Amino acid sequence: MTVVKQDLADADRAPVSQAPRPVTVTPDETQAIGGLVSVSIDGHDIKVPMGTTLLDAAKRVGVHIPTLCHHPDLRVAGVCRMCVVEVEGQRALQAACAYPVTGSLKVKTHTRKVRQARRHILDLMLSEHCGECYSCKRNNNCELQTLAKEYGVDFYRFGHVKESRVPKDESSYSVVRDMDKCILCRRCVRTCIDLQEVGVLEAIGRGAETRISTYLDKALADVVCINCGQCINRCPTGALHANDTSDEVWRAIDDPTKHVVIQTAPSPRAAIGECFGCEPGTPMTLQLNTALRTAGFDKVFDTNFSADLTIIEEGTELLMRLHRALVKQESVALPQFTSCSPGWVKYLEHFHPEYIPNLSSAKSPQQMFGAVIKTYYAKLHGLNPEDIVTVALMPCSAKKFECNRPEMASSGFKDVDFGLTTREMAQMIKEAGIHLPDMEKSDFDDPFGSATGSGVIFGATGGVMEAALRTVIELVCGVKVESLFEHADIVPVRGFEGVRYIELPIADVAPVVPDILKPLIPSFDFLKGVTLKVAVAHGTANAKRVMEDIRAGGKFSECHFIEFMGCPGGCLGGGGQPIPTSPEIRQARAKAIYAEDKGCAVRKSHENPAVLELYREFFAEGPCGHKSHELLHTHYTARGKHIGG
């Protein structure tokens, strides 16, 4: 098998999630931009490429300029003016984030005039900022609060609003809007419009009447919000936060009649240490297990187990679709889309509903695990499912919406009772008096203690695709994936480009179909000579471009399988992850995830012994069988057909 990788470098525009310009200046960069320009910033002389902003130039020489509306993931706005500086020869102060260097300049960043301007801007913001810091979700992690301390704000120069003027919007399962804390930086608007291209939020009114709202001031639950929570991750204050259900989880833990279990996804484990002062990318998997038991959870399970289960079910569904299309010549919805990102699923439902049949019918790992816990696990331990409370620790605010979808009750009960974000779990651990980095390490609980590296990499963009390919290549081609990709690392699907496209020609196939698939597919001969075409997209802005290409009959319409993730970077950049976020932070989290994958004794989903035991003991008909379809799949499938049952 050979691999052809093609990035979407020739797309209409660069991927939204692209990292910022590197500090070093290359000859190619110099030539492309038009040469270097001399800048003096507070006496520091530097040469930068023409067009570099003053803010970026200052960073290169280590000069700190405060910002509020600026964010490394977003386009320049220049609306808050906190970054004003003095430019020699200019009458007015200039916003450093939006001022391009086009000629030699002398800049001063902390003169009396600059300091007074910034202080007045802060005072004006604080005069409209209602609420007490100590009761705010962002207390001690609020950019406005940090700047107020930095600039010595000790009284409200222009007064202070003490009573709420705008009711909180708590209609959404995922996102709460508290516009009394909004400072009109428009980060949320730019996130929703530019980064995600959903467009739920907008600035309404002019001058003193300006406010951030939705279309016709509707509640978030009544507009096309996809619950991704990316607006939360970029809001500098507490105007946006996740809908926190941790008090309900505490009540369940304190109830002796309840058996409370929690599953933890890989992305929170790679990021939660940031909430305790650790560097981004510090893994806390085993310490977290101990902390959760100490906090009162009865069992701690690994979502990687059900990620492996997802690969078996979703991979089997793909093979069945291909068999129907290539052998039976049936009309089948291809390419098959991944379905484990609830933000992406909701985006598709809102904006491209005609392609819902292309979604894999497989539930997400979170929801599969919930169904298994309240059926198989309950029976195994003689527990009444009514007394089991299932909690999911996820990097994603959309998971809160997903677990409340009415169809997610295939066990006869609500499969997952509560979804908690990484930030919320960190707060619960602190409430329990636990300092996470100091905890001893311990393993996950059985019978779901074993998981694979394939489950771990679900947390990064391209991870679901890589996990699926590790299994499909071995089963279909009959060769070890390590013989084709060193250490089973399928590098072509990795990376933070907005969209990746890969071709994998299948030269030969396995002579025998594994027993687990024989009832569904008698032979793999129909795949011999086929070039498997797959793609990976993260962030709904990139998903939009892929979907528009498919609709136009472009190259992505010829794909067999496409992984979509609703958030930039995949789950590791989810709306429930620690704040702040940036391309560098997401890279560090990805590094931790891939390091954990390398350390796993088993790295392929189809070799997970606990998953194989589950099929022997519970899903005896195998993947996509009647029972697994009822518990592990939704009920709309390709062209409305009931796959496997």
Please give the positions annotated as active site.
314, 317, 340, 360, 399, 402, 407, 571
Residue 3 has a CB neighbour count (10 Å cut-off) of 16
Q: What is d(CA 253, CA 408) in angstroms, rounded to the nearest whole number?
A: 23
In contact, 158 and 124? CB cutoff 8 Å: yes
What the block records as the tokens of 383 is: 């527990």
CA angle 373, 374, 380 (to 5 degrees): 70
- Which residues are 562's β-sheet partners? 337, 535
CA angle 109, 182, 205 (to 5 degrees): 100
CA angle 490, 491, 497 (to 5 degrees): 130
In contact, 359 and 339? CB cutoff 8 Å: yes
Q: What is d(CA 361, CA 339) in angstroms, rounded to the nearest whole number?
A: 7
Q: What is d(CA 155, CA 513) in angstroms, rounded to the nearest whole number?
A: 74
Residue 18: which of 448, 496, 459 has the closest Cα?
496
Q: What is d(CA 637, CA 332) in angstroms, rounded to the nearest whole number?
A: 10
| Neighbour order of strands in the sheet with 499-505 | 4-7, 499-505, 531-538, 561-565, 336-337
Residue 454: which of 476, 469, 474, 475 has the closest Cα?
469
Residue 517 has a CB neighbour count (10 Å cut-off) of 21
Q: What is d(CA 533, CA 502) in angstroms, rounded to the nearest whole number?
A: 6
Residue 589 has a CB neighbour count (10 Å cut-off) of 31
CA dihedral 311, 314, 316, 320 (to 10 degrees): -160
Residue 132 has a CB neighbour count (10 Å cut-off) of 8
